[in-house]
Structure 1
Amino acid sequence: MKNTFGRWLPAITSTPLRKSAVLAAGLVFASGAVAGPATAAAAASAAPAKTAAAATSATPKAKQLNFRYRAQSTYYFCAPAATSMALSTSGHLISQPKLAALLGTTENGTDSAYETTRVLNQVTGTNFYRTREIPGGYARPWQMDRLQADVVRAIGHGYGVVANVKGTAYDTAGGMHSFEGGHYIAVVGYQDEGRLVRIADSAEPNGDGTYWMTTIKLANWIAERGYSA
C-alpha cells in the first residue's frame, strides 16, 4: 500500500492491554516467526513459572532512547524520516535522500513496513527487525499485546520502532494526528511496561517532535498497515 494521503478513518477503541503482554516478547517471538493467538496461548501455558518471573524482573517498566529528530524534508519522505530517527537510536546517522533510495520511496510514498524492515536490518547489519501486520480495520486485543511486547523488546535492546499508520489518532494530551492516506512514525520510548509509547513524528516539527500515545490507540492507528520492530 502506498503512503499517500486519502480518506479519514475514525479512531477505534478496544479493551485495556493485559499485564501479561510484556512476557509475550519472550514467548511469542523466540522462534522469529509470527505466532497466532492459539500458538501464543499454548506457548504461554507451557512456559515454566520461573521463566516468566525472570522475564518480568529483567524488563524495565519504562525506557526512552536517545535519538536525532528530523522533520521530513519532502511531503512524501515520512518513511525515510521515520527510518532515520529509528536508526539514530543505535548510532546510525543516514540522510533521508539515501534512505529514500534504499526504501524505494517515490512521490507516491513508501510501499509498506516490509520495506522499512528490510532497510533497518540492512543498515544495522542484523536480522533483529521483523514486520508485523495488523490486517483489518481495527486491532484485536492479542495484536495490541503483541505490539506492546514488540516495543518493549526493541527499545529494550536499543532499537527504535517504525510504524506505518493510517487515519486519525489522539495522543495523551488530546492532540489530534490525522494522516488519512497513511504516514510513517518512529517509536523511541515507552512507559508503564509498554502501555504508553513515545512517538517521534516527522510531521510535528514543533518542540522535540514527540508525543505520547497509548499502545491501544497506536495499534488501531496501524490497522490495515504494519510496523517494523
Structure 2
Amino acid sequence: MSNLLRGARWLTTVTPPTTRRAALATAGLAVIGGTVAGPAVALGATPQDVGFRAPTAKELSVDYQAQPNFYYCGPAATRIALTASGRAPSQDDLAARLGTDVNGTDSAEDTTRVLNSLGRTDFYRTRSIPEDTASPAEMDRLQADVTRAVAREHPVVVNVIGTAVDAEGVAHSYAGGHYLTVVGYEDEGRTVKIADPADVNGDSSYWMSTINLANWVASRGYSG
C-alpha cells in the first residue's frame, strides 16, 4: 500500500525538554511580545459554517485509554475521539471495524469511516498532506479544520510519522507511524492539545504548534 495515509506500528523515543521559545523556533513560529505568531485561519468550508465563529480556545472532555499493544494506536485514537460524544466502544471492536492487524490501521480513510459510522454523523472528512513537508496552505487548512471540528465537539484523529517537538521542547518519535487524537486548541488553533494513545513514560497529553503537527502528518492524513 502507498505510504500516503498509512499508519501502523509505533516506535518511540522521548528527549529531554528545552525551552518553549526554542521549540517554537523549531516550528517556524515567532514569539512577539509573548504572543505566538502563526498562520491565519480560513473557515467557511461547508454551508453550516457560514456565520459560525469558533472560540479562540477550547478543550474537549474525553475518556482516555492507552493502546494495549504496539499496533492498536488507530483503535485507541478513534475511541478517544468517540468518547467526546459519550460513545466508548472497546478497542477490540474498533480494531475489527478499522481492519486493524499487526501491521496497524491502513489509513485515515478508515478512521474517517468509523468515526462517521459510530458517531452517527457525516461530519468527518479525510484530509491528506501528500508531500514530505506541509505547505503553508496545508498548515492553514489543518488549523482551520482543528478549530472547526473541536469547536463543534469533534476531536480530530491524525496519522503521523517520524519526529515532532511539542511546545515544551520534548521530541516525540514514531518511526513506524502512529495515530493521535487532537482534543483541544488555543490561540485560535495555532497550538493544539494531543491525547497520545502510546502513553510513553506517562506522557499521554501534550501541546504542540499546528505547524509542527502539520509536518508530522506530512505524507499521511487526518480525519477532521
- Normalising by structure 2, we get a TM-score of 0.83
Taking the aligned partners of 1:171 and 1:105, their CA distance within structure 2 comes to 28
Equivalent residue runs for 1:203-214 within 5 Å: 203-204=198-199, 206-207=201-202, 209-214=204-209
Moved over 4 A (4+): 11-16, 205-208
SS of the aligned residue for 1:190 comes to strand
- Alpha-carbon offset, residue 14 of structure 1: 4.8
- 2:213 paired residue number: 218
- 2:83 paired residue number: 88
- Alpha-carbon offset, residue 90 of structure 1: 1.1
Equivalent residue runs for 1:1-229 within 5 Å: 1-5=6-10, 13-14=27-28, 17-19=38-40, 21=41, 24-26=42-44, 29-30=45-46, 55=52, 58-204=53-199, 206-207=201-202, 209-229=204-224
- 2:18 paired residue number: none
Letter in 2 for 1:139: A
Taking the aligned partners of 1:170 and 1:31, their CA distance within structure 2 comes to 35
Q: Which runs of 5+ in 2 are unaligned?
A: 1-5, 14-22, 30-36
SS of the aligned residue for 1:211 comes to strand
Taking the aligned partners of 1:72 and 1:5, their CA distance within structure 2 comes to 11
- RMSD between superposed Cα atoms in Å: 2.3
- Alpha-carbon offset, residue 207 of structure 1: 4.8
Letter in 1 for 2:124: Y
Comparing 171-180 with 96-105, which one deviates more in the overlay? 171-180
Q: Which runs of 5+ in 1 are unaligned?
A: 33-50
Paired residues of 1:14 and 1:141 also in contact (CA < 8 A):
no
Taking the aligned partners of 1:4 and 1:31, their CA distance within structure 2 comes to 38
Taking the aligned partners of 2:159 and 2:187, their CA distance within structure 1 comes to 23
Structure with the higher strand share, 1 or 2: 2
- Alpha-carbon offset, residue 216 of structure 1: 0.2
Paired residues of 1:197 and 1:212 also in contact (CA < 8 A):
yes
Per-residue deviation, residues 15-47 of structure 1 (Å, max 9, x unmatched): 76323x1xx221xx2269xxxxxxxxxxxxxxx
> Percent identity between the aligned chains?
53
SS of the aligned residue for 1:152 comes to helix
Paired residues of 1:17 and 1:144 also in contact (CA < 8 A):
no
Taking the aligned partners of 1:3 and 1:134, their CA distance within structure 2 comes to 17
Task: Give the total of aligned pairs.
Answer: 200
Paired residues of 1:71 and 1:205 also in contact (CA < 8 A):
no
Structure with the higher helix share, 1 or 2: 1
- Alpha-carbon offset, residue 74 of structure 1: 1.2
Letter in 2 for 1:73: P
- 2:17 paired residue number: none
Taking the aligned partners of 2:96 and 2:165, their CA distance within structure 1 comes to 32
Paired residues of 2:10 and 2:70 also in contact (CA < 8 A):
no
Per-residue deviation, residues 29-71 of structure 1 (Å, max 9, x unmatched): 2269xxxxxxxxxxxxxxxxxx7xx55xx32000000001111
